[in-house]
Amino acid sequence: MWRRVVSCSTSAQFQAVGSCRSSPSLNLTRRFLISSASTPSTPPPFQRSPNLSSPASGLKKVEDIMPIATGHEREELQAELQGRDILEVNHPVGPFGTKEAPAIVKSYYDRRIVGCPGVEGEDEHDVVWFWLEKGKPHECPVCSQYFKLEVVGPGGPPDGHH
Partner 1 sequence: MIESQRHSYHLVDPSPWPISGSLGALATTVGGVMYMHPFQGGATLLSLGLIFILYTMFVWWRDVLRESTLEGHHTKAVQLGLRYGFIPFIVSEVMFLFAFFRASSHSSLAPTVEIGGIWPPKGIGVLDPREIPFLNTPILLSSGAAVTWAHHAILAGKEKRAVYALVATVSLALVFTGFQGMEYYQAPFTISDSIYGSTFFLATGFHGFHVIIGTLFLIICGIRQYLGHLTKEHHVGFEAAAWYWHFVDVVRLFPFVSIYWWGGI
Kindly write down the DSSP assignment for every residue of 50-104, as one continuous string. P--PPPTTS---HHHH-TT--HHHHHHHHHHHHT--TTGGGS-B-S---SSSPEE
8 is in an annotated binding site: no
- Is 135 among the residues that bind partner 1 (CB under 8 A)? no
- Cα–Cα distance measured from residue 134 to residue 129, given in angstroms and rounded to the nearest whole number: 16
Give min distance, CB of 130 to partner 1, in A: 21
Question: Which residues is 105 bridged to in the sheet?
Answer: 149
Using CB under 8 A, pick the residue from 5, 6, 28, 69 that binds partner 1: 69
Q: What is the DSSP letter of 132?
A: E
- Cα–Cα distance measured from residue 52 to residue 15, given in angstroms and rounded to the nearest whole number: 25
- Cα–Cα distance measured from residue 144 to residue 132, given in angstroms and rounded to the nearest whole number: 14
Using CB under 8 A, pick the residue from 10, 22, 24, 44 that binds partner 1: 44
140 is in an annotated binding site: yes
- Is 66 among the residues that bind partner 1 (CB under 8 A)? yes
- Cα–Cα distance measured from residue 118 to residue 103, given in angstroms and rounded to the nearest whole number: 12
Of 85 and 133, the one with the shorter C-beta distance to partner 1 is 85
Give min distance, CB of 99 to partner 1, in A: 30
Of 69 and 119, the one with the shorter C-beta distance to partner 1 is 69
Using CB under 8 A, pick the residue from 1, 12, 59, 87 that binds partner 1: 87
Question: Which residues is 148 bridged to in the sheet?
Answer: 104
Give min distance, CB of 105 to partner 1, in A: 15
- Binding site residues, partner 1, CB under 8 A: 36-37, 39, 44, 46-48, 50, 65-76, 86-87, 89, 108
Binding-site residues for Zn(2+) sit at: 116, 125, 140, 143
